[in-house]
Amino acid sequence: MRKRNASFGLILLSALTATAGVASADTTATSAAGQSTTVSSGSIIVYPTATTTGANPNGAALTLLNTNQAQYFYIRNTGTVRIVSLTITITYSSAGAKTSFYHCGENILFSGLNTCASGSTTLVPNSGTTPLNLSPGSWYAFEIDTKKTVTPTISVTVSTSQIRPALDTSS
Amino acid sequence: MNSKNKIAIPLTKAVVFLTAGLGGIGLISSSVYASLTAEASNTSGGTVTSGTLKLTQAPSTVVGLTDGFATSITAMAPGDTVRRYIDLSNTGTLDGDTVTLKAEPSVSNALTTNGTAGLQVTVNECAVAWTSAGVCTPGSTVVLSQKSLLAMGSAQSLTLSSVLAGSVNHLQFVITLPAGSEVTTNGALPVGTVQGLSTALTWTFTETMRAATTTDS
């Protein structure tokens, strides 16, 4: 019985040796430790907010005051990708509100009604796509002036087709 | 003296005589059947050496293209492409047969598991070193058509121009994040997004040895 076990062991050892022999015919080159390629993707995070430093509402639209006076809000880019346009959707608590809608330049506040602290205002369409070159870490100030007492709600969307042109780099 | 009383030889003497007799016969036999041997051996050469199969990869040494695999790729936006340059060398003494490439991510996320919107890899080869602008003057060839990182989890065959001992393959890795159609709403990224993710890729080349040969010479 002991002899039979010994024979089986020898056969098994031979099989393992043969397998190792085949495997050793391959040579492998692997990126050395610490030399793996870390790849990270950017993010498009753009949202409306009541202040220039407002936090990400994580999907919630911005509801302004119920008034017929001019109101101001901001659109921030806290992501890592510059955008070239965005889509602003304004809804009102009641129909029939006629609205004047403007923005100033990047990181420029309004200093008065329809007046920017620097440069001139830009008229914004009440709905649809708005060209806006908004860099990461920057914001735009908007003025919305309704002629009727309503509560405007602002929603902003950005698709991957509204970001800066694709980059193609060799290094 | 009785006739029956023949010359008496003591038993011990008889044994001695018999032994001596047999020994003598043995010596005679030995002399008759002694074998003859002759040897011949070489006085030079006869050295046997085994070959080696070695495969190494290193960043291109062309100025401007030296990032290789070690330098991180950051903030890729959908639609972006990053090209990296690697020299793959057979530094052994044996020719290779097939070469495969595999990329293993340190972390699984949409970049590595989404075969459509996740990272894509294409490998091109230039017969000479790439220019510092990333151009192949004689024209490049595709050695691995576009594959998702998901597919790269399994070894993919490379159709290299040469796998001979001493050969150097000048490779260009084209890493792309497809443009996709994701929409961010009020700062919220869509479910399953490829944005804001990170992973570390380990690239593994594997080369098999040429077929074994039998030579008569």
Q: How far is Cα B68 from Cα A31, in angstroms, rounded to an integer?
A: 10
Q: Which residues contact A32 (CB under 8 A, 6 or more apart)?
A: none
> For tokens 């989890």, what's the residue?
B153
Q: Which has more confidence, B20 or A16?
A: B20
The confidence score (pLDDT) of residue A34 equals: 55
The answer to whether residue A23 scores a pLDDT higher than 80 is no
End-to-end CA separation in angstroms for chain B: 88
**Across all residues in chain B, what is the average pLDDT?**
89
HSE on the CB side for B185, CA within 13 Å?
8
Q: Which has more confidence, B113 or A12?
A: B113
Q: Which has more confidence, B166 or A26?
A: B166
Q: How far is Cα B50 from Cα B93, in angstroms, rounded to an integer?
A: 9
Q: How confident is the model at residue B185 (pLDDT cuts 50, 70, 90)?
A: very high
Q: Over the stretch A53-78, which tens digit does the pLDDT of each residue have?
A: 999 999 999 999 999 999 999 999 99
Nearest to A58 among B64, B187, B198 (CB): B187
Please say whether the beta carbons of A135 and A77 come within 8 A: yes
Q: Over the stretch B95-130, which tens digit does the pLDDT of each residue have?
A: 999 999 999 999 999 999 999 999 999 999 999 999
Please say whether the beta carbons of A151 and A93 come within 8 A: yes
Query: A159 vs B181: CB contact, 8 Å cut-off?
Result: yes
The confidence score (pLDDT) of residue A27 equals: 65
The shortest C-alpha distance from B160 to chain A (Å) reads 16
Query: B54 vs A80: CB contact, 8 Å cut-off?
Result: no
Q: How confident is the model at residue B24 (pLDDT cuts 50, 70, 90)?
A: low
**If you average pLDDT over residues B50-73, what whole number do you get?**
94
Q: How confident is the model at residue B197 (pLDDT cuts 50, 70, 90)?
A: very high
Q: Which of residues 101-140 of A touch B (CB under 8 A)?
A: none
The shortest C-alpha distance from A4 to chain B (Å) reads 35
The shortest C-alpha distance from B109 to chain A (Å) reads 11
**If you average pLDDT over residues A28-37, what whole number do you get?**
69
Residue ranges per domain, chain A?
A: 49-158
Query: B204 vs A160: CB contact, 8 Å cut-off?
Result: no
**β-sheet bridge partners, residue B183:** A159
Please say whether the beta carbons of A81 and A136 come within 8 A: yes
Q: Where are the beta strands (DSSP E) in chain B?
A: 55-59, 73-76, 81-90, 96-105, 120-126, 141-148, 156-158, 168-176, 183-185, 198-209
Q: How confident is the model at residue A10 (pLDDT cuts 50, 70, 90)?
A: very low
Neighbours of B56 (CB within 10 A): 14
Q: How far is Cα B57 from Cα B68, in angstroms, rounded to an integer?
A: 9
The confidence score (pLDDT) of residue B27 equals: 52
Nearest to B183 among A37, A157, A168 (CB): A157
pTM of the model: 0.80
Query: A166 vs B189: CB contact, 8 Å cut-off?
Result: no
The confidence score (pLDDT) of residue B12 equals: 60
Q: Which of residues 35-74 of A touch B (CB under 8 A)?
A: 35-48, 56-62
Query: Quick one: closest CA in B to A35, which residue?
Result: B70
**Across all residues in chain A, what is the average pLDDT?**
85
HSE on the CB side for B86, CA within 13 Å?
26
At B41, list the tokens.
């051996």
> For tokens 């991180």, what's the residue?
B72
Please say whether the beta carbons of A98 and A146 come within 8 A: yes
Q: Which has more confidence, B21 or B185?
A: B185
The confidence score (pLDDT) of residue A30 equals: 65
Query: B84 vs A43: CB contact, 8 Å cut-off?
Result: no
CA-CA-CA-CA dihedral for A26, A29, A30, A35, to nearest 10:
180
The answer to whether residue B193 scores a pLDDT higher than 90 is yes
A22 touches chain B (CB under 8 A): no
The shortest C-alpha distance from B17 to chain A (Å) reads 50
The confidence score (pLDDT) of residue B1 equals: 44
Q: How far is Cα A80 from Cα A137, in angstroms, rounded to an integer?
A: 8
Domains and CATH numbers, chain B: 55-181+200-209 (2.60.40)
A14 touches chain B (CB under 8 A): no
Provide, for chain A, the percentages of residues in helix, strand and coil under a 3-state DSSP scheme, each rounded to the nearest 5. Answer: 15, 45, 40
Query: B199 vs A38: CB contact, 8 Å cut-off?
Result: yes
Contacts of A168 in chain B (CB under 8 A): 80-81, 83
The confidence score (pLDDT) of residue A40 equals: 98
Return the H-helix or E-strand segment holding A30: strand A26-30
What phi, psi does B31 have (nearest 5°)?
Answer: -65, -35
The answer to whether residue A17 scores a pLDDT higher than 60 is no
The answer to whether residue A24 scores a pLDDT higher than 90 is no
The confidence score (pLDDT) of residue B45 equals: 87
At B175, list the tokens.
């890493």
Q: Which has more confidence, B59 or B45?
A: B59
Fold entry, domain A49-158: Jelly Rolls (2.60.120)
Query: A37 vs B207: CB contact, 8 Å cut-off?
Result: no
The confidence score (pLDDT) of residue B31 equals: 55
Q: How far is Cα B197 from Cα B76, in angstroms, rounded to an integer?
A: 10
Q: How confident is the model at residue A96 (pLDDT cuts 50, 70, 90)?
A: confident
Please say whether the beta carbons of B121 and B146 come within 8 A: yes
Q: How far is Cα B208 from Cα B217, in angstroms, rounded to an integer?
A: 26
